[in-house]
């Protein structure tokens, strides 16, 4: 018999709206001795932002790492670029810049 599949909870990240600090459950919080794997909902009620000491209520859910950035209702617009993850967008942007630079430099080869 096969073992039943174990569901792993989605580890959503939470961003402090005051300073921009992102609490990532995969990393935890070393300043307050919170080990990795502790979900944001499981943090103590008196836990505060390690950067600016904002209360837990000042944090907003920004979803798991590697998801497409932006509002969910806007992800269907555009030429498909809105569905890219931030890493894919960086590769697209900087790859296009590098290619443009190479084309520009190749103009020096013309006589």
Residues 25-68: pLDDT tens digits? 888 888 888 888 888 888 988 999 999 999 998 998 887 776 65
Domain extents for the chain?
Answer: 11-67, 69-110
Global confidence as pTM = 0.55
Longest dimension (CA), the chain: 73
Calculate the alpha carbon distances from 6 to 2, 12, 57, 63, 74 in Å: 12, 18, 31, 21, 32
**What's the distance, CA 82 to chain centroid?**
15
Overall fold of domain 11-67: Rubrerythrin, domain 2 (2.20.28)
Side-chain half-sphere exposure of 26, counting CA atoms within 13 A: 9
Express each pLDDT in 59-97 by its tens digit: 988 877 766 555 566 666 666 666 777 788 889 999 999
């Amino acid at each position: 018999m096969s073992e039943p599949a174990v569901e792993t909870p989605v580890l959503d990240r939470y961003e402090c709206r005051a300073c921009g600090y992102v609490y990532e459950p995969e990393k935890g919080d070393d300043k307050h001795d919170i080990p990795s794997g502790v979900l944001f909902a499981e943090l103590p009620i008196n836990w505060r932002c390690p950067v600016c000491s904002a209360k837990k209520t000042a944090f907003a859910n920004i979803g798991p790492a590697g998801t497409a950035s932006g509002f969910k209702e806007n992800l269907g617009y555009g030429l498909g670029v809105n569905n890219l993850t931030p890493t894919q967008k960086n590769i697209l942007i900087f790859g296009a810049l590098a290619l443009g630079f190479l084309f520009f430099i190749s103009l020096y080869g013309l006589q």
